[in-house]
Structure 1
Amino acid sequence: MLKRLYASFARMCGKVPYSLTAFVCRVAAAVPFWRSGQSKLEGGDILGVKYELFSLKASKIYLFSDVYGFPEAIAPFVAQLTALGENLLPPMLVCGILTRFGALGLLVMTAVIQFYVFPEELLKPNGNWSLHLLWAAPLLVVLTHGPGKFSVDALIGGRQRTSA
């Protein structure tokens, strides 16, 4: 009885279109990076969206050199590169434009944050590694299975999904 009930439930769950799952994963992964990227920019905004991608707040450059431990000579470059990634990759991901590239870029950023910026957090039971897993999981879904039908990639004929 329990086995049949579970099989029925599994069939029902299997009816959720992958395109919906992929879209939700794309949005979920994009939001924290977008918010972080917007917080790094000094420029003005239109309807709450910063439009100056090349003007970083001095406090953010300070973070990269004095808090995150990047050498002072490259901290401004790393801060700028991070801000560009956090402001360009999330919209690409949400719209489904070069989706797997965007997912890979954000996954690499997640790994750098975890393993370079906060390596000591891996050993703490309440460390931020669990937050980074929440970022990585939807990115891995999109990276491995594609953006789904609700994407620009699908409109231009990109491969939708690699496996069931």
Structure 2
Amino acid sequence: MMSLLQRPLALLDTRLFEGVALLVVRLALAAQFWRSARTKIVDGSWLEIDPITFDLFRDEYHMPVPEITGVIATYAEHALAALVMLGLATRFGAAGLLVMTAVIQLFVYPEAFWNPHVLWFGLALVLLARGGGLFALDRAFDRSSNARVALR
């Protein structure tokens, strides 16, 4: 009876399954910030910040110097989400998104901890602990650095 349970559970304890799971975690976290970043950009442009973004940072988010914090947050949301999606410098990107989530939680929407901020915290913490996984570009750099170490 126990072996009937152990076989299917053993499939979950593989690098492939972990890689797929971490890919889903990366995409789930990055998508939230990417979509948010795109709302701050002029429609049809790549990275031209919409002037309404500064009003949002001043009037709704109550951030200091919205002309600076709006630009920093918009570009950081784009860059960090892209890094996490690609699995490139995954831990760095996840740490940045964790800090952004903390700022949002503490200063912008303190009432939103259980939904959705705790989910973003959890996803970022998983990536900090485990890295990008099998399907991350980080793996290509790990291999090349491991190969250089092996040659020494």
Is the shorter-chain TM-score for this pair beyond 0.5, marking a shared fold? Answer: yes
Shift of 1:11: 3.6
What corresponds to 1:39 in structure 2? 39
- State the alpha-carbon separation in 2 of the partners of residues 7 and 140 from structure 1: 29
What corresponds to 1:69 in structure 2? 62
Instruction: Report the RMSD for the aligned CA atoms in angstroms.
Output: 2.2
1:1-164 alignment, distance < 5 Å: 4=2, 8=6, 10-15=9-14, 17-42=17-42, 44-45=44-45, 51=46, 53=47, 55-71=48-64, 74-119=65-110, 121=111, 127=112, 129-157=114-142
User: How many pairs align?
Assistant: 142
Name whichever structure is richer in helix by fraction: 2
Contact residue 12 and residue 18 of structure 2 kept, 8 A? no
TM-score normalized by structure 2?
0.82
Distance of aligned partners of 1:6 and 1:64 in 2 relative to their CA distance in 1, 3 Å threshold: farther
Structure 1 stretches of 4+ with a deviation exceeding 6 A read none
TM-score normalized by structure 1?
0.76
Gaps of 5+ in 2: 146-152
Contact residue 29 and residue 136 of structure 1 kept, 8 A? no
Contact residue 114 and residue 129 of structure 1 kept, 8 A? no
Distance of aligned partners of 1:89 and 1:6 in 2 relative to their CA distance in 1, 3 Å threshold: farther
SS in structure 2 at match of 1:156: helix
Higher relative contact order (CA 8 A, sep 6+): 2
Deviates more, 1:144-153 or 1:16-25: 16-25
Gaps of 5+ in 1: 46-50, 122-126, 160-164
Distance of aligned partners of 1:78 and 1:129 in 2 relative to their CA distance in 1, 3 Å threshold: farther
Q: Deviations over 1:53-107 (max 9, x none)?
A: 2x22122111111111123xx1111011111011111111111111111000111
